[in-house]
Structure 1
Amino acid sequence: MIRIVDIHSHFIPEKWENLQQKFGGDDWPWLDHNQNPSTLVHQPQQPGKAMLMKGDKAFRPVYEACWNPEVRLEEMDRDGVDKQIISATPILFAYERPVEQALYCAQIFNDAALDICARGDNRLFSMAQVPLQDIDASCMEASRAKNCGHVGVQIGNHVGDKNMDDEGILTFLQHCANEQIPVFVHPWDMMAANRTKDYMMGWTVGMPAETQLSIVSMILGGGFDRVSNKLKICFAHGGGAFAFLLGRLENAWHHRDIARGKSQHPPSHYLNRFFLDTAVFDHDALNLLVSKMGPDRLMFGTDYPFPLGEQQMGQLIKSADDLCAETQQKLLADNAEQFFTL
């Protein structure tokens, strides 16, 4: 019988303390359970629905699968998903805050994730967040989180102008390699924000571009040459356009010295150093990923429970006629079980 492990799903606690009152400022995330997500008008509470806010601005309508493990398990059962790994919605990262505030947020949200998983019938697992703007604090929180039961850490793909090849971020990744802590890289904002503000292009264009940038910066910045090959690292959203544009990257590396950066080898040399999730929503794109990355470097991810996630979880891979049953099973569960030691 086919097994399914979803490595890319998000949570939001049902409630948490008022961070604006605690730290000041006017754009902290919070959940408004008394706002109609359709009209943005306050009204009596709608059970199971809420608006994720950033200060006084609506960020995203959400529903109780984000915080209620019973609802999550019901929907997993509906689609035949055996296990899910939950990670924070990236708006909770707080990378732009002072480190003390970001560490506080990391700890309260990491503990909240464990609480959700504790009520998940041994089918829910969690990845922790860290205050990535401070590497020492991030290393300590990653180790604390592992000892508390998290199966990995989720990080954003940059901090300010620092990409994945930043000295500090590489130090953190080496710490994760040493401690055997798997890393999931997820974009948390969008490049060209002003030009992609319409039509959800920030999510459909900006975020995938951010993911591609993070992989390329790790390769050309010499990150994979410097960090131990014991590092387990996976990039979200199928790597963005990375697989499609790998030939362009490779061509540039061979024909322009400046395009080689600090990397010791051509880009294709590093394909065995990282994983991608399968959140691409298209059979041709999935086949390209399998062709470029190989069946052992991909893991099933949905982006559940958001509208831009896979609505019938697992259906893309299960209906992929070009993939044999063995490859489907690797993508759906085998690779994830080994990566996260589930």
Structure 2
Amino acid sequence: MTAVIDVHAHAAPRTLLSDLAAGRERFPGVEVRSHESTYTVAFSGGTPTRPIAPGLIDLDRRLGWLDEQGVERQVIGGWLDIFGYDLPAAEGAAWAELLTSAVGEIAAADERLTALGTVPLQDPERAAAALVACRRAGLPGIMIATRAGGRELDDPAYTSFWEAADDTGAVVFLHPGFAGAGPRYQDFGLVNGLARLEDSTVTLARMLYAGIPARFPRARIVVAHGGAALPYVLGRLTRNHALHPQTTADPLESFARLYFDSVVFDPLTLEFLVAKAGAARVLLGSDYPFPIGDLAPREVVGQADLKDSDRTAILGQTAAELFT
């Protein structure tokens, strides 16, 4: 039987954070403070992060959840709040390398875990070099945010980054941050409920119109949260391309090269995603350990009206091919 694989989860390295808080490890632009039983992190004198969720740093809790949910493998990236994109380029590169190593150590503690690397996205050339280093170290790829320093992922400055992803066949897991969270999102929990989805949708629309997935077809781009609104608005984007063919690439060509996780919560939505993208392009995800995530990820796959072969593909068949 195919192993059940959760491709969307996060982790933070307790030992590294403890060392930074105690002064045993030092980065000029990174400040870690103890907060009750966990930590907060601030970069370059900025506002501290939310307290790091216990599930991010508690390995036993994670492994217990895998057992409870019948998940046999989990792909873990870092926590985006501590990716350090606000750090100066050189320090950011050193921080990303250390964070990659620390998340790798978490994964090495249990054979069910597979780590994704972190790169200094604020510096495209250094990000490209870090991606290549991750692949040489045996990692399947990296997790990145939708932008860094106000620079969009379709910016020509990232050409070397996408070339590196293409050359190495890397997984690039695209995850939203807080970039879309303006004042109107501050009520009703809409930062998590909606702003992140807007952030992903705009980034993806730009990438499709720039033809990034089509131009770099060996880069295996995986998108969080079911692709946000992209599958639903694809028809409109296609119509807009028909009106402006000289300034936009065909979005359908690039859409067909994307992978999507299953964190959509609603069986009908999952059915729609499978109909648009194909079951072989949809992967089981949880967004562990966050409450806004799907912490019973197999249920929506079981409840959706799908063929057995589609369920097999989503639950782990495709992920086993990608994350090796």
Q: How far, CA to CA, are the matches of 2:241 and 2:248 in structure 1? A: 11
What residue in structure 1 maps to residue 237 of structure 2? 249
Q: Which range is displaced more, 272-281 or 54-63? A: 54-63
Cα displacement (A) at 1:52: 4.0
The CA deviation string for residues 258-291 of structure 1, in whole angstroms up to 9 with x for no partner, is x76331x3x2232221111111111111111001
Q: Quick one: which of 273, 286, 290 aligns to 1:302?
A: 286
Q: What amino acid is aligned across from residue 271 of structure 2 in structure 1?
A: N
Aligned letter for 1:18?
L
**Counterparts of 1:306 and 1:130 in 2: how far apart (Å)?**
23
Q: Which residue of 225, 231, 238 maps to 1:237? A: 225
* Count of equivalent residues: 317
Give 1:23 deviation, angstroms: 4.8
Pairing 1:315–2:299 present: yes
3-state SS of paired residue (2:97) = helix
Q: Distance in 2 between matches of 1:80 and 1:260?
A: 49
The answer on whether the counterparts of 1:170 and 1:223 sit within 8 Å (CA) in structure 2 is no
Report whether the alignment pairs 1:268 with 2:252: yes
Distance 1:82 1:95 in 2: 32
Rounded to whole Å, the distance in 1 between the matches of 2:33 and 2:162 is: 32
- For 2:47 and 2:86, locate their aligned partners in 1 and report how far apart those are by CA, in whole Å: 18
SS of the aligned residue for 2:8 comes to strand
1:110 to 96, 100, 112: 100
Equivalent of 2:59 in 60, 69, 86 = 69
- Cα–Cα, structure 1 residues 173 and 4, in superposed 2: closer, same or farther, change >3 Å? same
Any unmatched runs of 5+ in structure 1?
A: 35-44
Map 1:71-110; keep pairs closer than 5 Å.
71-110=61-100
Task: Name 2:50's counterpart in structure 1.
Answer: 59
The root-mean-square deviation of aligned C-alpha atoms, in Å, is 2.3
CA deviation digits over 1:132-191, x for unaligned, max 9? 121221122222222333221111111233212111223201111101221111112231
Of 126, 138, 150, the match for 1:137: 126
Residue matched to 1:40: none
- Counterpart-to-counterpart distance in 2, 1:215 and 1:60: 29
Question: Do the aligned partners of 2:77 and 2:143 also contact (CA within 8 Å) in 1?
Answer: yes
- One-letter identity of the residue aligned with 1:123: R
Q: Give the Cα separation in 2 of the matches to 1:216 and 1:56.
A: 30
Query: Residue 295 of structure 2 aligns to which amino acid in structure 1?
Result: Q
Residue 336 (structure 1) aligned with residue 319 (structure 2): yes
More helix by share: 2
Match of 1:277 in 2: 261
- Deviation, 1:9, is 0.1
1:5–1:84: 8 Å Cα contact kept in structure 2?
yes
Say if 2:21 and 2:34, in contact at 8 Å, map to a contact too: no
1:147 alignment partner, one of 136, 142, 147: 136
Distance 1:313 1:192, change over 3 A: closer
Contact 1:32 1:53 in 2 (8 A): no
Cα displacement string for residues 189-213 of structure 1 (whole angstroms, at most 9, x for unaligned residues): 2314222122321111111111111
Does structure 1 retain, via aligned residues, the 8 Å contact 2:11–2:77? yes
The yes-or-no answer on 1:32 pairing with 2:14 is no
Answer whether contact 1:190 1:202 (CA < 8 A) is retained: no
Identity %: 26
Are positions 1:161 and 2:147 aligned together? no
Gaps spanning 5+ residues in structure 2: where?
none
Between 282-291 and 196-205, report the one with greater CA deviation. 196-205
Q: Which of 209, 222, 238 lines up with 1:220 in the alignment?
A: 209
CA offsets 1:280-337 (integer angstroms, 9 cap, x no match):
11111111100111111111111001111112132111222x1121101101101111
Aligned to 1:10: 10
Q: Name the TM-score, length of structure 2 as normaliser.
A: 0.90
